[in-house]
Structure 1
Amino acid sequence: MFIQYRQVIYSNKYIQYEFYKDQTQQTITQIQIKFDDFSEGKYEQVGLLWDYYWNRYFQVQYYITRTKKKLIKYSTNDEINLRVDTLKNFAYSWNNLEQIKYLQWFEIQKSKIHQLDRLILIWKGKMLEDTGGQYSNGLKQGYWKEPIENYWTLSQAYQIGLYQDGKRFGIWINVYEDQVIGGGTYDDKHNKNGKWIELSENFSSNSYITYNGEYKNNKKIDKLEINYRFSSIYQFEWIGGGSYNQEGIKNCFWIDLIENFYRQVIFKGDYQNNKKIGKWGTYYRTEGIFSCDFQLIGGGSYDKTGIKVGQWIELSNYFYNYSQVTYEGQYQNGKKINQWVTKYKQKDQVQFIYGGEYDNENMKKGFWIDLSDDFRQFQNYDIINRDSQIVYQGMYHNGRKIGKWDINFREFNTFQQIGVTYYDEQGNKTGLQQETSSSFFNLSQIVYRGEYYQGHKNGKWKSFWNNKLKVEQLGCGLYGENGLKNGIWIELSNDFNEDKQVIYKGEYNCGQKVGLWETNFRFSQNFEEIGCGCYDDDGIQNGLWIELDEDFSNSKQIIHRGEYKNGRKVEKWLEFKRDKLKIQEGFKNTGETIYYQN
């Protein structure tokens, strides 16, 4: 039996989820498959993953596949499996890849006479003893401790309270790091009423935000305060909020936050009937424990219907301390028009000014210089920097790229061409190309060379790494029909860099990994086989595997050995580690983890 801790309604074939809630950010959506109509095939999704080095979220494409054996497989774009479920468990609407990979519910107690079933939470293979609760006939009953909706490594917060026939009632509290940080009361009709302190949707140690306000019959009313603190050892500070009327509608001055507040951005302006109107300002402050005041860096105006008009300065979707990119230009009836300027600022100094022009239908036209989504520069030169300053320049027609586009990368204050792509009149890539990897930066200068045909990769493609001394080919393989990988491949890991030179060798069948795959690692001169395992015909891991630790690197050479069953780790997995200064001594057992499976 599987109990949802998140409510998902499958009344429509497609459901859209907004990852950024403020109106100055572009909405990012994913397609959620209708449960009753989930046929065999591959469905593309968009999720979020935390970058622990740069302390920010980034978007990741992943795929949901229903296999011939009626299993549900979640995988990355390079066919690394994140999770495998049975059809009865397919009821989640994921957007956090850590949840997909690590969060499981485990049934530890089966039904007996006068006894309730019980579920317990498993995170990263470990059973969390005091979590979960009991249920009967699929409905939660009694005391439950369940994870918040956005539960992940930096957001291990819980909601604790009572259920009655699957509905909450009475007092519920929020707990994080063993501290009570809010909660409220459900009445006998299971509605929120009275004073509540709630956690923000993307609450985490990097976005430690609570909403303090009042409910009446499940509607927010009166004053709402938004509070923030750097961590649990600091005091909360008031950082935003406003008021609702008795119908739960915003009708006054507000200070709004981006849900991902690690970016330290707020918005100030007026609401009328829940719509932003008049002038709104965008404010930013530098990250830090004792940070400075918020400074006005952008904004613009909304008309009486809540549509953007006139001059605007907007932030990029990826704006944060090391990537202060803004866009400046005109709106007309909610559409961008005329010239828009892209600016990159570092240490309060504008470094670059690029951009291009929009037509009257909000489409790019003519010559443009675009910055990569992950455009960034580290500001502390005493630390090894991981700069990724890439710009693309070429022509747009009716909002589509056409012709030749140059890819340029700045290193040591000079831009140099590192790639080139060609587009046909429909905006599809065509002919010979040299593309950069999705995680390209100064210590991971990976490019791919090959040909496109009718918008799909075709024929032989090669992978090259510029290690500053020379450019060496490290990978290759063939693309077949519809751009699907086929035959023997040598691939570089997504995070291949000077400190983690890892490649994989194995076979693809119609875009799916099958058979034996080897993992090779280069510490000094030559690659050595350091891991391996087998995929079945559905591309699912089975049998004995040796795989690298997620944080594997030159200085953290850790591997894990154990068994997969239908894509899930089972029973005992052993951990082995070797010292980079004592390579000749080999790997030594340093621990074990027991994995549970229903």
Structure 2
Amino acid sequence: MTDFQLYKRLFCFEQKGQEHGTINIEVEMWDQIKTQITKMKIQIIKTQDNEIIYLNDGIILRVQSLQDVINNPQNFTNLEQIQNLQWKKENEINMMKIVKSMAFWNGKVLKDVGGYFLDGLKQGFWREIIDNYWSQAEVYVFGEYYKNNKIGVWKYIFHNNIIGLGQYNYKGQRISKWIELSDKFSNRSQITYIGEYQNGQKIGLWEIWYKDYETKRNKQIGGGLYDQINSIKIGRWIENCNNFRDCSQVIYQGQYKNGKKVGRWDILYRNQQSEAFQQMQNYIIKITTKFSGGGSYDDQVQGDQIKIGSWIEISEEFYKWSQVTFQGEYKDGKRIGKWEIWFKDCHTNQKKLIGGGFYDEKSSTKIGKWIEQNLRFYYNSQVTWTGQYKNGQKVGRWDLIHEEQQIGGGLYKEDGDSEIKIGNWIELSHSYRDWSSVTYSGEYKEDKKVGRWDIWYKDWETKKNEQLGGGHYDEISSIKKGVWIELSDIFDRYSQVIYDGEYQNGKKVGIWMELEKKRWKLQEGFKKIKDINYGN
């Protein structure tokens, strides 16, 4: 979400006579257990003092004034940017209205990043960061501005190497041959597009290339044609999925007509770069050949491209260890009737039905009983949710199930325009899996955690469930306060580290102790490793 979009939504509170309000959004974050990008829910709060607070699980990620949001708009695309990225301007020569812009990351200047504004417009040579810049995508873009338009040659720099470049004309339009980066370019998703621009429009053949993170080999994985006049996709294309990366190499193959997908489109998947792509019906579905990965689009190309008939689609979290697919029917571009959720275990090569439910025939909203995979469902964390939908919203009791045993869950409000958690809940940690059975138990009021929450750990072998930590959330703001004991993000049977310290206003303060229970000396309990000073 851009700051401009954020400002518009926050402005709605003022129009309704509200001095404060909360917006819930999803942002991308790095999952170090699964070594992939995943999504996390955060809250953006406008206070009565016109401050904007970014909050997750009672921890304040960022605070800025509403005026700063308006004067210095930023486009945050991931969690790390919210926590670390700051742009600052300072006047150099007031008479000429020259302003210098600099970027800061975690409080430190990003070397040589930024440039100058003249009369409010970017001017001269700039070194910028890509839109999805973070620790896994430290890519810089270097080139020249003239009155806010990019001109001349611009280069993409990654690990001190030029990985992309191209030229702008004096109007700021891309021209001639370009090597572009995908929107989600990162260490493990080094996707580039190679082709030609004419007056800012893509024309002719464009190729899609992927460089493997481990082997460093760069190979073409797809591509297709753009019309020379209208710059729309035509003919046969092979495209990478949005989340294509080293352990999720999925492509789509089919036909475009007048810039829209038509007819049969297949989904193909491979385990690693050395393998050829295989169709989903051959690779993922071993039990039956009745279905194939992908599906069909309506051949009538008036209006939007429309999915029709039977489809098999992949989950957003699809990768080697979490091969989850959805199987069902589309009508006029909408899911209808019964849909099934399937999982293929990469070790046994067996495919099994793990869930599903029904979509309303008219509204295409989820209705009735559903069994859904947990967001972080994979081979050693096969957890599902079971509960009821009403008008597309979760209502009533929802249970977390693992190996046919209830391990958590809680209540949603029966009525309302959104899904609101209430009462006592047991939730899973982000890294929950067989040997890291960490859960949180406590109370929700109107979708906010309040009061005491406990942190529990169940040993994989002994099955003993033990409270290891916890603390308090404020009853009004749902911000963490007072003394907390927290577990490390990678806590499991073989790496047991906890942190003991204090929160004030949603931020760690003072001295926090780091304690560890040694792998081969579990009976000795936790022992202090070091102190961490967070100041006041």
Match of residue 367 from structure 1: 310
Task: Show CA shifts across 1:549-575 (max 9, x none).
Answer: 223222222222222222222233222
> Quick one: structure 1 residues 577 and 397, their matched pair in 2 at CA, closer, same or farther if it must change by over 3 Å?
same
Residue 311 (1) aligns with residue 236 (2): yes
> Quick one: structure 1 residues 267 and 476, their matched pair in 2 at CA, closer, same or farther if it must change by over 3 Å?
closer
Return the alpha-carbon distance in structure 1 between the equivalents of residues 143 and 62 of structure 2: 40
Give the deviation of 1:213 after TM superposition: 3.6
1:466-485 equivalences under 5 Å are: 466=403, 471-481=404-414, 482=416, 483-485=419-421
> Quick one: structure 1 residues 11 and 528, their matched pair in 2 at CA, closer, same or farther if it must change by over 3 Å?
closer
Equivalenced residue count is 496
Structure 2: 5+ residue stretches without partners? 92-97, 281-292
Give the TM-score normalised by structure 1: 0.74
Query: Contact between 2:175 and 2:199, CA under 8 Å: does it hold in 1?
Result: yes
Instruction: Select between 535-544 and 390-399 the one with higher mean Cα deviation.
Output: 535-544
Return the alpha-carbon distance in structure 1 between the equivalents of residues 32 and 521 of structure 2: 28
Match of residue 83 from structure 1: 61
Residue 97 (1) aligns with residue 79 (2): yes
Give the deviation of 1:404 after TM superposition: 1.1
* Equivalent of residue 424 in structure 1, options 360, 366, 381: 360
Residue 553 (1) aligns with residue 492 (2): yes
Give the deviation of 1:210 after TM superposition: 3.9
SS in 1 for 2:216: coil
Residue 43 (1) aligns with residue 23 (2): yes
Instruction: Select between 526-535 and 190-199 the one with higher mean Cα deviation.
Output: 190-199
SS in 1 for 2:523: helix
Give the deviation of 1:34 after TM superposition: 6.6
SS in 1 for 2:395: strand
Query: Contact between 1:420 and 1:434, CA under 8 Å: does it hold in 2?
Result: yes
Query: Contact between 1:301 and 1:311, CA under 8 Å: does it hold in 2?
Result: no
Give the deviation of 1:399 after TM superposition: 2.0
- CA-atom RMSD in angstroms: 3.5
> Quick one: structure 1 residues 489 and 237, their matched pair in 2 at CA, closer, same or farther if it must change by over 3 Å?
closer
Instruction: Select between 514-523 and 334-343 the one with higher mean Cα deviation.
Output: 334-343
Residue type of the partner of 1:239?
I
Give the deviation of 1:239 after TM superposition: 3.0
Return the alpha-carbon distance in structure 2 between the equivalents of residues 528 and 211 of structure 1: 50
> Quick one: structure 1 residues 548 and 187, their matched pair in 2 at CA, closer, same or farther if it must change by over 3 Å?
closer
Query: Contact between 1:396 and 1:402, CA under 8 Å: does it hold in 2?
Result: yes
> Quick one: structure 1 residues 579 and 421, their matched pair in 2 at CA, closer, same or farther if it must change by over 3 Å?
same
Residue type of the partner of 2:232?
I
Residue type of the partner of 1:97?
L
Return the alpha-carbon distance in structure 2 between the equivalents of residues 243 and 134 of structure 1: 30
1:480-491 equivalences under 5 Å are: 480-481=413-414, 482=416, 483-491=419-427
Residue type of the partner of 2:316?
D
Instruction: Select between 480-489 and 427-436 the one with higher mean Cα deviation.
Output: 480-489
Give the deviation of 1:443 after TM superposition: 0.8
1:88-487 equivalences under 5 Å are: 91=69, 93-100=75-82, 102-103=83-84, 147-148=103-104, 151=105, 158-159=109-110, 173-174=112-113, 186=116, 198-203=128-133, 206-229=136-159, 236-259=160-183, 260-262=185-187, 263-288=189-214, 291-346=216-271, 347-353=274-280, 354-359=293-298, 360=300, 361-377=304-320, 387-411=321-345, 412-425=348-361, 426-466=363-403, 471-481=404-414, 482=416, 483-487=419-423
> Quick one: structure 1 residues 69 and 439, their matched pair in 2 at CA, closer, same or farther if it must change by over 3 Å?
farther
Return the alpha-carbon distance in structure 2 between the equivalents of residues 486 and 69 of structure 1: 28
Query: Contact between 1:437 and 1:446, CA under 8 Å: does it hold in 2?
Result: yes
> Quick one: structure 1 residues 67 and 465, their matched pair in 2 at CA, closer, same or farther if it must change by over 3 Å?
farther
Residue type of the partner of 2:530?
G
Give the deviation of 1:519 after TM superposition: 0.6
Query: Contact between 1:195 and 1:214, CA under 8 Å: does it hold in 2?
Result: yes
SS in 1 for 2:499: strand
Return the alpha-carbon distance in structure 2 between the equivalents of residues 561 and 265 of structure 1: 42
Task: Show CA shifts across 1:40-87 (max 9, x none).
Answer: 4432323221233454433434332447898755445xx564537476
Give the deviation of 1:461 after TM superposition: 1.9
Give the TM-score normalised by structure 2: 0.81
Return the alpha-carbon distance in structure 1 between the equivalents of residues 25 and 527 of structure 2: 39
> Quick one: structure 1 residues 64 and 189, their matched pair in 2 at CA, closer, same or farther if it must change by over 3 Å?
closer
Match of residue 431 from structure 2: 495
Query: Contact between 1:199 and 1:209, CA under 8 Å: does it hold in 2?
Result: yes
> Quick one: structure 1 residues 143 and 159, their matched pair in 2 at CA, closer, same or farther if it must change by over 3 Å?
farther
Match of residue 287 from structure 2: none
SS in 2 for 1:430: strand
Return the alpha-carbon distance in structure 2 between the equivalents of residues 392 and 582 of structure 1: 45
Give the deviation of 1:501 after TM superposition: 0.8
Return the alpha-carbon distance in structure 2 between the equivalents of residues 104 and 196 of structure 1: 17
Residue 13 (1) aligns with residue 8 (2): yes
Give the deviation of 1:321 after TM superposition: 1.7
Query: Contact between 2:472 and 2:484, CA under 8 Å: does it hold in 1?
Result: yes
Give the deviation of 1:211 after TM superposition: 3.6
Return the alpha-carbon distance in structure 2 between the equivalents of residues 576 and 438 of structure 1: 30
Task: Show CA shifts across 1:195-252 (max 9, x none).
Answer: 55554444556445444444445543223343443xxxxxx44433222223332221
Return the alpha-carbon distance in structure 1 between the equivalents of residues 270 and 67 of structure 2: 46
Instruction: Select between 207-216 and 314-323 the one with higher mean Cα deviation.
Output: 207-216
Return the alpha-carbon distance in structure 2 between the equivalents of residues 145 and 272 of structure 1: 32
Match of residue 113 from structure 1: none
Residue type of the partner of 1:517?
W
Query: Contact between 1:355 and 1:370, CA under 8 Å: does it hold in 2?
Result: yes
Return the alpha-carbon distance in structure 1 between the equivalents of residues 51 and 142 of structure 2: 43
Query: Contact between 1:339 and 1:358, CA under 8 Å: does it hold in 2?
Result: yes
Return the alpha-carbon distance in structure 2 between the equivalents of residues 93 and 211 of structure 1: 16
Return the alpha-carbon distance in structure 2 between the equivalents of residues 341 and 85 of structure 1: 45
> Quick one: structure 1 residues 86 and 226, their matched pair in 2 at CA, closer, same or farther if it must change by over 3 Å?
closer
> Quick one: structure 1 residues 422 and 575, their matched pair in 2 at CA, closer, same or farther if it must change by over 3 Å?
same
> Quick one: structure 1 residues 521 and 322, their matched pair in 2 at CA, closer, same or farther if it must change by over 3 Å?
same
Task: Show CA shifts across 1:390-426 (max 9, x none).
Answer: 1110111222211111111111112110112211121
Give the deviation of 1:339 after TM superposition: 1.8
Return the alpha-carbon distance in structure 1 between the equivalents of residues 124 and 406 of structure 2: 64
Residue 532 (1) aligns with residue 458 (2): no
> Quick one: structure 1 residues 279 and 99, their matched pair in 2 at CA, closer, same or farther if it must change by over 3 Å?
closer
SS in 1 for 2:217: coil
Query: Contact between 1:206 and 1:261, CA under 8 Å: does it hold in 2?
Result: yes
Return the alpha-carbon distance in structure 2 between the equivalents of residues 64 and 513 of structure 1: 15
